[in-house]
A = this chain, B = another copy of it.
């Protein structure tokens, strides 16, 4: 069935998750740069789309360069960039930015406040999550602030197994304040739309490749983009089996992507 799907519809654009697909931590995954070269030689348009919220776009480009991956600003869309764009569109200027110090530069034009914010913006802050901060954010939400989350990933792979990710804290705040967060990174439809616009391709001409069944594969499929799951990074067979999301294709790693796309 997957064969027919791929043969029947031409792929012109490829959206690529980074963490868990091209690298895990500082370790480049085997065959990743070569796969990208083959897509490029075949004339496919591509763009990195990432929920990583611990680095700014600029520092992520540096990281890609150090790992030997092509790094161009126009080929990268990050959750913090998408969030800043969303806040501007909504006219929200005063935010409690509960995000990593490193990504604050992606929020130029947003006034960072810790009192009476219009929105509480949450990203990965790792060890800084603790009761006092969560309680403070909860009280601001109860006072009417919007909750904006860069993503709601359940867990991530750091190289020594799965670890709790931002989605847990989003769920905590949603439950306590009895509200729903606006998600601005993957799997938000607006995020995928911005990525397609960058590539200049339609949803049915694109594929999304990632290791997160919900944010990458399910999110893409929800807007008509084919979703390809890689068995690297946070992929776990038992978790994939439990999920309701059915990828359009599963490949053992991004090294197998050119063959899947026939290039």
Interface residues of A (CB under 8 A from B): 126-132, 134-135, 138-139, 142, 154-155, 161-165, 167-178, 239, 242
**CA–CA, A135 to B126, complex, Å?**
10
**CA–CA, A238 to B176, complex, Å?**
15
User: A168–B128 contact, CB under 8 A?
Assistant: no
Which chain B residues border A132 with CB–CB below 8 Å? 127
Which chain B residues border A129 with CB–CB below 8 Å? 130-131, 134
**CA–CA, A169 to B242, complex, Å?**
23
Partner of A138 from the list B131, B164, B174, B178 (CB cut-off 8 Å) is B164
**CA–CA, A142 to B239, complex, Å?**
10
Partner of A176 from the list B126, B154, B177 (CB cut-off 8 Å) is B154
A112 shortest CB reach to chain B, Å: 21
Which chain B residues border A168 with CB–CB below 8 Å? 134, 138, 172-173, 175-176
Which chain B residues border A165 with CB–CB below 8 Å? 176
**CA–CA, A168 to B130, complex, Å?**
12
Nearest chain B residue, comparing its CB with the CB of A239: B178
A225 shortest CB reach to chain B, Å: 24
Nearest chain B residue, comparing its CB with the CB of A236: B142
Which chain B residues border A131 with CB–CB below 8 Å? 126-130, 164
Could you write out 12 A-B pairs with CB less than 8 Å apart? A127-B130, A127-B131, A128-B131, A134-B168, A135-B164, A138-B155, A138-B162, A139-B163, A154-B175, A168-B173, A171-B174, A172-B172
A165 shortest CB reach to chain B, Å: 7
A94 shortest CB reach to chain B, Å: 21
Partner of A154 from the list B126, B134, B135, B178 (CB cut-off 8 Å) is B178
Whether A164 contacts B134 in the complex (CB less than 8 A), given A155-B176, A175-B171, comes out as yes
A126-B131, A127-B130, A138-B168 known; 11 new pairs, CB 8 Å cut-off, are A129-B131, A131-B164, A134-B164, A135-B163, A138-B162, A142-B155, A154-B176, A168-B173, A168-B176, A171-B175, A172-B172
User: B162–A139 contact, CB under 8 A?
Assistant: yes
